[in-house]
């Protein structure tokens, strides 16, 4: 069992299904990084319309606005995260890292020791 690795997929659900996932977190993080929903969508091979739809769905499920758009100006529109959007990205990232650390530790303590007791099959 020496070369086994634990994997973990995390998400948040409401009654209506998936709300937040690593994928959606990445979309929000890319908006924060690029200042543009078009750039964030493109980096994830999503259409602008689909990326916008995901963010609006997320806002509806969460009950607060995540992005703020400014139309026009030099270079066209600009999209930034709201304070709450930034807090969500940071909090979800902390949540994800804590769970990943717990997965590694629980694996090392509970499952890795079995590698020593296992007798190879013929």
Minimum distance of a copy of itself from residue 1's CB (angstroms): 6
Minimum distance of a copy of itself from residue 74's CB (angstroms): 30
Which residue's CB is nearer to a copy of itself, number 49 or number 121? Answer: 121
Residue 34 CA to residue 65 CA, distance in Å, equals 18
DSSP string, 35-69: S-HHHHHHHTT--HHHHHHHHHHHHHHHTS--EEE
Query: Helix (H, G, I), strand (E, B), or coil: what is residue 16?
Result: coil
Give the interface segment with a copy of itself, choosing from 1-9, 24-32, 40-48, 72-80 (CB under 8 A). 1-9
Residue 117 binding a copy of itself, by CB under 8 A: yes
Q: Which of residues 62-101 bind a copy of itself (CB under 8 A)?
A: 62-65, 84, 87-88, 91-92, 94-95, 98-99
Instruction: Name the nearest CA neighbour of 31 among 21, 39, 42, 22.
Output: 39
- Alpha-carbon torsion, ordered 101, 105, 106, 107, to 10 deg: 100
Per CB under 8 A, residues contacting a copy of itself are: 1, 3-15, 19-20, 59-65, 84, 87-88, 91-92, 94-95, 98-99, 102-103, 106-107, 110-111, 113-114, 117-121
């Amino acid at each position: 069992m020496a070369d086994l690795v634990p994997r973990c997929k995390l998400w948040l659900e409401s009654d209506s299904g998936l709300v937040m996932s690593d994928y959606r977190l990445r979309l929000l993080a890319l908006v924060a990084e690029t200042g543009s929903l078009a750039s964030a969508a493109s980096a994830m091979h999503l259409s602008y319309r689909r990326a916008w739809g995901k963010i609006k769905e997320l806002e509806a499920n969460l009950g607060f606005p995540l992005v703020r758009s400014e139309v026009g100006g030099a270079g066209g529109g600009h999209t930034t995260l709201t304070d709450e959007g930034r807090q969500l990205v940071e909090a979800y990232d902390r949540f994800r890292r804590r769970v990943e650390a717990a997965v590694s530790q629980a694996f090392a303590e509970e499952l890795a020791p079995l590698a020593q007791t296992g007798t190879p099959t013929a």
